[in-house]
Structure 1
């Protein structure tokens, strides 16, 4: 008996990109495209009556279209059974971390070889997380940052350091991980930018990190409250 094909819906506001995705996936006999969309509005309308195994969605859409982390978060909550794979030309650690924390199962760089796309679809469909080898290397957490316990997968030492942060230092870090700028954080808590900056520096010092890049690397290991 033939194994049912994985069903996929595609969302991208660039026709050339959509055509490239479709060409690559049509060549995979175990993957079936059941919808292509150029706006999140049209995708959401289709999802009211149809479903799929995997959504391959562009991170950045049109100016007035729901996209990015907000779209990923909405889809992951509203359609729990559908796996989300985000595609983007921008693959800095901050963006990847925010997307994965919002509910995406994988991140596919548009700079990757398109021949890897079917494997990315299969990986997230199986419930596993997908990052291309280069992207995974960017998000890896080196043992010198986490200590021996974190290198073994527990992250115990880092969480202990996190417990030593003051409540306000934790607030600042959580806001940074959510993508807020220092100015936005000052407005949120009605504190001066000098105070927020000092709290951020103090938190970095206690965690043994030096910049935002390292913060997003260790983000998954920080204790969530």
Structure 2
């Protein structure tokens, strides 16, 4: 089954998968609700899903967790533009069995699907090496909410950082909480100042330290 809120991307993935004689797409959906409803009647060995869905949909981490609990026989493969060691580690910790960046060739996706079908985890070798060398300690502290319990941060600043760690943009966070984009941006920048950082990359690098301060 394929899940992506962008119709062009969704149809492109389905078309590419259909080229493989040994693979069959049993469903293609734009929302998590459609996917979960379909899984109630039609099992799927592999679920290929985007990490960041529509602004009113469930976030990627919670969906991965829900799939792991409700459909343990299905293996989740994430394909997303959010492709950093921190995001990949979060997804794997939540229960994903593989992760492919949307900047990678579609052949990587096909390889990943077959790897999961064999019961193995799939990561591109470079990503696997990056996680092993840069995120070993972070893998022990991958709950995004716990990571933002830093002294000096307000509850809303922690909330914004949690969403950032889950791969959401400022606009998506504003929509999720029905707040002004400028308000979210101000809260994010205020949190960054308190943490002594300036970019999202720096946030991901210190994420394993936030629950120690």
Q: TM-score per shorter chain, which class?
A: 0.5 to 0.7
Give the TM-score taking structure 1 as reference length: 0.63
Which residue of the partner structure matches residue 97 of structure 1? 89
SS at match of 2:8: helix
Matched, 1:34 2:26: yes
SS at match of 1:119: helix
Q: Report the Cα offset of residue 10 of structure 1.
A: 0.1
Give the TM-score taking structure 2 as reference length: 0.67
| Mapped partners of 1:174, 1:29: distance in 2 | 37
132-141 vs 25-34, which moves further: 132-141
Give structure 2 stretches of 5+ with no counterpart.
159-202, 209-213
Residue from 120, 124, 136 that aligns with 1:132: 124
SS at match of 1:177: coil
Matched, 1:76 2:68: yes
Residue from 22, 36, 40 that aligns with 1:48: 40
Q: Report the Cα offset of residue 184 of structure 1.
A: 3.7
Count of aligned residue pairs for this structure pair: 163
Task: Tell me, yes or no, if the aligned pair for 2:147 and 2:207 is still in contact at 8 Å.
Answer: no
Alignment RMSD (CA, Å): 3.2
> Judging changes above 3 Å, is the alpha-carbon distance between structure 1 residues 127 and 215 closer, same or farther for their aligned structure 2 residues?
farther
> Which of structures 1 and 2 has the bigger CA Rg?
1
Within 5 Å, which residues of 2 pair with 1:1-225?
9-141=1-133, 177-180=142-145, 184-186=149-151, 213=205
50-59 vs 179-188, which moves further: 179-188
Which residue of the partner structure matches residue 204 of structure 1? none
Task: Tell me, yes or no, if the aligned pair for 1:85 and 1:104 is still in contact at 8 Å.
Answer: yes
Which residue of the partner structure matches residue 153 of structure 1? none
SS at match of 2:43: coil
Give structure 1 stretches of 5+ with no counterpart.
1-8, 147-157, 159-172, 194-210, 217-225
30-39 vs 117-126, which moves further: 117-126
| Mapped partners of 2:25, 2:139: distance in 1 | 38
